[in-house]
């Protein structure tokens, strides 16, 4: 399905289409994979998560520490510290990226963290972050 067709559908049809995508989606995540999340308003925060377990369609993730090396004024490159966990594990069900599907791409697995951020598979490259005093 393309983007134009999708947006011409009613909200109910879009909801049914997304439900079908989720039902058939195989996230492909495995224990040890690292996810990242970039979020913020007037700044860019980067959080990393490690897949601690996989059971069926769900994954157990746990936030891990990150290291930021400044490379400019109040900005830097962030990478995960793989074996230093934070907080408690969370059970989540990865969802397919509808945007990827509508653009003819293989959908990425997205893990909804909260109302303002999601995590996806980390590509191994440092991520840019910025902060303000």
pLDDT in tens, 2-53: 889 999 999 999 999 999 999 999 999 999 999 999 999 889 999 999 999 9
Looking from the CA of 63 toward its CB, the CA atoms found within 13 Å total 10
Residue 80: CB atoms within 10 Å: 23
pLDDT digits (tens, 9 = 90+) for 81-103: 999 999 999 999 999 999 999 99
Residues 6+ apart with CB under 8 A from 68: 46, 76, 77, 78, 129
pTM for this prediction: 0.91
Domain boundaries, the chain: 3-122
């Amino acid at each position: 399905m393309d983007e134009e067709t999708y947006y011409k559908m009613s909200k109910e049809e879009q909801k049914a289409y997304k439900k079908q995508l989720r039902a058939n989606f195989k996230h492909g995540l495995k224990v040890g994979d690292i996810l990242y999340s970039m979020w913020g308003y007037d700044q860019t925060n980067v959080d990393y998560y490690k897949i601690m377990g996989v059971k069926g369609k769900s994954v157990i993730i746990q936030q891990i520490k990150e290291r930021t090396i400044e490379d400019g004024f109040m900005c830097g490159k962030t990478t995960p510290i793989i074996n230093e966990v934070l907080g408690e594990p969370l059970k989540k069900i990865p969802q397919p990226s509808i945007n990827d599907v509508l653009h003819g791409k293989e959908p990425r697995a997205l893990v909804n963290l909260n109302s303002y951020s999601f995590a996806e598979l980390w590509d191994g490259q440092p991520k840019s972050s910025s902060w303000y005093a």
